[in-house]
Each structure stands twice: as structure tokens, then as C-alpha cells.
Structure 1
Amino acid sequence: MTNLHPFPGPATPAATPSLPLPFDPAMAPALRGRLLREALPDPLRELLDSGRIGRRSRFTDDGFADVAEEWTPPAQVTPRHAALARRALVEIEESILAPASANHLLGRVLALLSHFPAKATTPEVEQLLAMDWADDLGEFPAWAIDHAARVWRRTRKWRPSIAEIRALCEEACAGERALADRLRAIVLAGERAGGSGGGTGAAAVRPVLAGAVRRMR
């Protein structure tokens, strides 16, 4: 049994965010993304539908990493579009994609690792391990961490590594992150259009990396 413990403080169980934008993490990702997109104002949906999608290879020091999708907003982005996109982006980032609390994260990790007993370690090492899990999963929302733990329990027979759970978390919230990236690009394009007296802000915006569409496994 592992000695990992949540950080001191009141437990905060994960809950489905209560938002003007509809969101239910229990839904299939495709349906969840469609409902979220349909709830956006019409001008934003039109921009999202008319942006340009490109693909490029990404490389690391180890060589080829993946093929990434790049989305560029259309030229007709205005400051009004930027205001609408900023409002939706705040809701997504502060609720749907809000990072899990340390207590929830470590509580979920403790429960998951308890299903796969390992050789006992000293309390000092266990504390360092807990800090590693909190650091490496701290960017993800509670619902994505819960999803990753559920998938691992039901499909694997061995103790998970941090990298494996990170990959499942990234997969769980890939659609919401991609939408946030595109809204962020619209905000930037609209602000630049306003600052240049109504020029084509999209031309000055670098394509947004909306996530890898194919990975080498």
C-alpha cells in the first residue's frame, strides 16, 4: 500500500461545472464538443467554421514527434468578435479546464495506485513522489484526471507511470483545449485588428497549435 497522502486541507470532490456553456464530462467527447460549440454565439461559430486548418510535422531532439494541426482565424475578425471570444474563453479556462485542487488530484492518485500495490518506500520518498504527481498532473481539470484513472483501472493490469496518466489526461481534454486555443487566436486577431484601425488582424496572427492529430506510438 502506498503512503501517498493528499496535502492538508478540506477535500474538494470533483463536480460537473455549472456554466452557461453546457458541459458534461460523462458525455462522449464528440457530443460534448458539439454541444459546447453550438452554445457559442453565432458570430463565433461562423469564424470557427471559416478558419483555415493546416498540418505540419513537429520534431524534438529525439526526432519526429507528431503531426500537429494548426488553425488560423479568417481575415474578417473584429474587436467585437474578440470580446465575444474572450468571454467564452474565460468560462472555458476558469471552469471546464480549471486545474484540479491538489487534494483531489492526490486523492485520486492514491486511490488508483492502491489498486496496484508496490514495494514499500520511506515516507520521505513517498512525499517526493506525491510532489512529482502533483507537479506533472497539476495542469489538468479534475474530470480529466478522474477519466484517466477510470480508463487505467478498467484496461490495465500494472501500476501506471506519470507519463501514461498524463497522456490519458491530454486525450480526455484535447477537444476543449483545441477550442480554447482557437478562441484565443480570435481574441488576438480582433485586438490587433482594433489596434491597426480595422486591418486584417488574422494576417498577423501565427497559426495556433490546436493539438496533435497523429502521434507516433
Structure 2
Amino acid sequence: MTARPRSATITSLPRTHAPASPAAAFDPTLPAPQRRIRLTAALPPPLPELLAQGRTDRRPRFGEDGFDGMIELWSPPSGVTPAQAALARQTLEELSGTVLAPADSDHLLGRVLTLLSHFPAKGLSPEVERMMALDWADDLGEYPAWVIDAAARNWRRSRKWRPSIAEMRTLCEEICAPERALADRLQSLADAAPDPCVPDPRALATGALRRMG
């Protein structure tokens, strides 16, 4: 009688899920408050906790014409470790290279030319129009593509006249304000503790003085 082969028992290993990244969680179509909540929740721990523990102060801002609204100044909590600061620095680099990365020049120029074509100006030659578009591309070059797209869409749907560069810059600033504020707070966390890979300039100065003495 032939013995039956024993059936092997296969135990499935638990799946490991890669931690969410800010870039993967970012959705530019969401309203600004939801974008910021979702982006903050996707930060690696303990960064969300450190951001929540920081202190926010509201102070008046004054411009050339006097009072110009209130600004928020955020300070990191005490006790940020070098490892936590390094994590904030690494996350900021990822955020700057993805969500806040400047738009591709071809995309930007195409978007500007398309927007201006909706509001044709009389008496301008095609060459002048193109030179104006290049000025626009230069002055809006710091903003991400999704910000410029949203600003152009907002203007097309709400205005009846050709925008100025200053008006578009203001609109772009308003659209990406939550993401830039998050980047500023990550920068504050990164600066809260020294980077062990970067020599302390004070220590270098002290060593130089000792050698001179």
C-alpha cells in the first residue's frame, strides 16, 4: 500500500505595509483644510505629535500702508532630539521635491499662454505676447504646477478681465499657503536640534582661536 504524501501546512506571513508618504497622500483637488489634515497625518511619526505640541502666536503685521492683517508664528516644542530633527529635515526635502516642487517650465509657459488667450489684448503682436508670457513664467516659476493650474482655473471662472502678474502671485500664495506653512514648521523642527553631520560653527571658531593662541 502506497503511503499518501503529507500535505504541507503553509503559514502566511503578515504583510508589512510601507509607511505612507506625504507625496502619496497629497491630493490637490481637496479643499485647503482637508489637504493640510491629510498631508500632516501622512508624516512619519513622531512628526505629527511634535507639530501638535508646538506653540502658535498671532501677531499683527504692518506693511507700507499700515496694518496688513495677522500672521502666525510657530515655535517647536522643547526637547526635540537630533534624530527627530533629522527626520523633519528628510521629510522637508521630500515635500520640497514633490508637493512643493516648482512647475516644469514647459508646463508653466503653456498654462500662462492658455490663460492669457482667454483674455486677448488688443494691439499686441504675437511676439510681444510671447515675451509677456516669458515674464509671467519667470515671475511664477517658484510655484508648483498644481498651484498654477488651480490659480488659472480660479481666475477663468471668477473674473472677466486679464490678470496681472501680481494678482496671480497673490492667488498662488493663497492656494499653497497650507503646504508652505507645513514646510516652514518642518524647517523649524529641523533647526531645533543640531545636525550631527554638520560641524557646529561655534566649535570651529573656538578651535581656531585656540590654535591661534
TM-score by length of 2: 0.77
What is aligned with 1:150? Answer: 153
By relative contact order (CA 8 Å, sep 6+), the higher-ranking structure is 1
Please tell me whether residue 27 in structure 1 is matched to residue 30 in structure 2: yes
Percent identity, aligned pairs only?
58
C-alpha contact 1:106 1:134 (8 A) present in aligned 2: yes
State which drifts further: 151-160 or 54-63: 54-63
What is aligned with 1:176? Answer: 179
C-alpha contact 1:98 1:140 (8 A) present in aligned 2: yes
Distance 2:47 2:142 in 1: 26
Which residue of the other structure, out of 50, 54, 59, is the alignment partner of 2:53?
A: 50
Question: 1:37-69 CA distances to partner (integer Å, 9 max, x unpaired)?
Answer: 111123111110011101112223333223111
What is aligned with 1:108? Answer: 111
What is aligned with 1:206? Answer: none
Distance 1:129 1:63 in 2: 32
CA apart distance, 1:114:
0.9
Distance 2:74 2:21 in 1: 26
Counterparts of 1:59-208 in structure 2, within 5 Å, are 59-122=62-125, 125-191=128-194
Distance 1:124 1:40 in 2: 46
C-alpha contact 2:119 2:161 (8 A) present in aligned 1: yes
Question: 1:14-44 CA distances to partner (integer Å, 9 max, x unpaired)?
Answer: xxxxx83211111121111111111112311
C-alpha contact 1:108 1:146 (8 A) present in aligned 2: yes
Distance 1:125 1:173 in 2: 30
C-alpha contact 2:105 2:141 (8 A) present in aligned 1: yes
State which drifts further: 128-137 or 176-185: 128-137
TM-score by length of 1: 0.76
C-alpha contact 2:92 2:183 (8 A) present in aligned 1: yes
Gaps in structure 2 of 5+ consecutive residues: 1-19, 201-213
Distance 2:126 2:115 in 1: 19
State which drifts further: 88-97 or 53-62: 53-62
Amino acid at match of 1:79: P
Distance 1:80 1:194 in 2: 12
C-alpha contact 2:109 2:134 (8 A) present in aligned 1: no
Gaps in structure 1 of 5+ consecutive residues: 1-18, 198-217
C-alpha contact 1:78 1:193 (8 A) present in aligned 2: no
| Bigger CA radius of gyration | 2
C-alpha contact 2:85 2:195 (8 A) present in aligned 1: no
- Count of matched residue positions in the alignment of Structure 1 and Structure 2: 179
C-alpha contact 1:77 1:193 (8 A) present in aligned 2: no
3-state SS of paired residue (2:46): helix
